[in-house]
């Protein structure tokens, strides 16, 4: 089974050059004359920081959509007008947060388009990503786009992207026009990814079937819908036997894997007490929770407590390989709650300032708690690996980028 070290080694190339944005949308960064030193070290050795959750867009691809390109391409968040930025500003933002490298990806907005148009969009995006990656290979890598609604075309796109364009895998949504990734029609794509040894980065787009229930205040389509879609996608891949069929398939789940890791034991419980809801013809080779140990999770989950939970789920007993990958928060868009004014926070949540002060103080205490704990307190209960040093490094990193 591939390790995180193998993945990062394979993903450590790529580039820069035109215009693009991120999941949180980049805010104007402070210009710096020289790059900061990396803040993370393990056992006295410098650790390269690679952010695997960084989005981008290209105007050339949007031009194929006509007049409503911005509406389709860009998320409805503050700062969307600044989504297309110059590469120098992107590098300055990375330097300001001491990020060594970003792995770029584009959230799919073309799954509902016809095959020819979607193929053109993907072709333009992959070519532009490759161009970016060739110009600054020490700062950028990229995941390819795929026309997943046409799996035969997606197979060709993935092979071209990896073998000819130097891209490091593919970024996909959480479902394709209502068809789950466990559907046999997608098997050729997963087989090609397994053959090439490259990861698939699952980034959710929400659950449109729940639009009515998720309407109203709170932007619930994103707040609840995005992590829910990731949870559903991963659950289908597990319960339908897709991971058994493709044991070498590498999957990276955005936003810490959604809700699944925090409530995974219910998956082991389900078919035992409700066998009528499970297909007797599908015999999994191991317990559902065991499949989480072959999935990579990013760290874009906002608080140290949840990062430690994801870390505990990502450690495979007997195989001490860390499967929690760095994904940073930016100072703009949906990841900028910390940087909003206190008045703006109170208007949104209707909480008095005293409650906000207590909450922020609690989060700071939580962030420092890991560094104060002993190695024995952080020992993996099911294995011999004690991730104390790595936990401390991860939390120090998170404190720095806040």
User: How many Å is the maximal CA-CA distance in the chain?
Assistant: 64
Q: If we measure between CA atoms, which residue out of 318, 322, 277 comes closest to residue 296?
A: 322
Helix, strand, coil share (%) of the chain residues, nearest 5? 50, 10, 40
Q: What mean pLDDT is predicted for residues 234-247?
A: 98
Contact predicate 140/16, CB 8 Å: yes
CA dihedral defined by 183, 148, 254, 12, rounded to 10 degrees? 120
Cα dihedral 83, 87, 93, 96, rounded to 10, equals 180
Residue 186 confidence (pLDDT) above 80: yes
Of 83 and 137, more confident: 137
pLDDT category of residue 26 using cuts at 50, 70 and 90: very low
> By the 8 A CB rule, do 393 and 326 touch?
no
Domain 4-341: homologous superfamily in CATH: Metal-dependent hydrolases (3.20.20.140)
Q: What percent of the chain lies above the pLDDT cut of 90?
A: 49
Strands, E, within 78-169: which ranges? 85-86, 101-105, 140-142
Q: Among 184-193, 229-238, 346-355, which is the least confidently predicted range?
A: 346-355
Assign 176 to helix, strand or coil: strand
**Averaged pLDDT for residues 370-391:** 32
Kindly report the pTM of this predicted structure. Answer: 0.74
Q: What's the token pair of residue 152?
A: 């035969």
Could you tell me which of 197, 190, 188 has the C-alpha nearest to residue 168? 197
d(CA 379, CA 197): 31
pLDDT at 237: 98
Do the Cβ atoms of 274 and 239 come closer than 8 Å?
A: no
Higher pLDDT, 284 or 306: 284
pLDDT 10s digits, 268-293: 998 889 999 999 999 999 999 999 98
Of 29-33, 76-80, 172-176, 258-262, the poorest mean pLDDT is in 29-33
Model pLDDT for residues 325-334, shown as the tens digit of each residue:
777 655 444 4
Averaged pLDDT score across all residues of the chain:
76
Instruction: Return d(Cα 135, Cα 15) in angstroms, integer.
Output: 5
Map out the domains of the chain as residue ranges: 4-341
pLDDT over 60 at 72, yes or no? yes
Tell me how far apart the alpha carbons of residues 390 and 108 are, in angstroms, rounded to a whole number: 33
In the structure, what pLDDT confidence band is assigned to residue 156 with cuts at 50, 70 and 90? very high
Give 103-121 as a DSSP string. Answer: EEE-----TTS-HHHHHHH
Q: How many CB atoms lie within 10 A of CB 171?
A: 27
């Amino acid at each position: 089974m591939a390790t995180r070290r193998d993945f990062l080694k394979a993903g450590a190339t790529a580039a820069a050059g035109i215009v693009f944005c991120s999941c949180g949308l980049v805010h104007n960064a402070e210009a710096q004359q020289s790059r900061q030193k990396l803040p993370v070290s393990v056992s006295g050795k410098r650790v390269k920081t690679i952010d695997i959750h960084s989005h981008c867009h290209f105007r050339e691809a949007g031009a194929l959509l006509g007049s409503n390109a911005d509406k389709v391409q860009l998320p409805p968040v503050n700062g969307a007008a600044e989504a297309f930025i110059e590469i120098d500003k992107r590098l300055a933002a990375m330097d300001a947060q001491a990020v060594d490298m970003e792995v770029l990806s584009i959230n799919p907005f073309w799954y509902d388009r016809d095959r020819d148009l979607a193929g053109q969009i993907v072709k333009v995006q992959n070519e532009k990503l490759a161009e970016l990656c060739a110009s600054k290979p020490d700062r950028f890598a990229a995941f390819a786009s795929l026309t997943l609604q046409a799996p035969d075309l997606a197979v060709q796109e993935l092979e071209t992207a990896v073998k000819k364009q130097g891209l490091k895998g593919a970024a996909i949504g959480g479902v394709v026009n209502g068809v789950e990734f466990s559907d046999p029609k997608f098997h050729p794509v997963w087989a090609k990814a397994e053959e090439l040894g490259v990861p698939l980065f699952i980034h959710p787009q929400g659950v449109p079937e729940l639009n009515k229930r998720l309407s109203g205040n709170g932007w619930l389509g994103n707040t609840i819908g995005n992590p829910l879609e990731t949870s559903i996608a991963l659950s289908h891949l597990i319960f339908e036997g897709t991971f058994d069929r493709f044991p070498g398939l590498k999957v990276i789940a955005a936003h810490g894997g959604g809700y699944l890791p925090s409530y995974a034991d219910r998956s082991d419980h389900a078919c035992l007490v409700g066998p009528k809801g499970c297909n007797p013809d599908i015999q999994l080779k191991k317990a559902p929770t065991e499949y989480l140990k072959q999935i990579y999770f990013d760290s874009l989950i906002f608080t140290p407590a949840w990062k430690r939970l994801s870390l505990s789920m990502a450690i495979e007993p007997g195989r001490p390989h860390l499967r929690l990958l760095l994904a940073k928060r930016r100072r703009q868009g949906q990841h900028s709650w910390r940087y909003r004014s206190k008045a703006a926070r109170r208007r949104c949540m209707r909480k008095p300032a005293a409650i906000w002060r207590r909450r922020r103080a609690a989060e700071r205490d939580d962030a420092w708690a890991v560094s104060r704990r002993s190695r024995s307190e952080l020992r993996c209960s099911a294995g011999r690996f004690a991730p104390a040093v790595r936990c401390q490094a991860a939390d120090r990193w998170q404190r720095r980028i806040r």
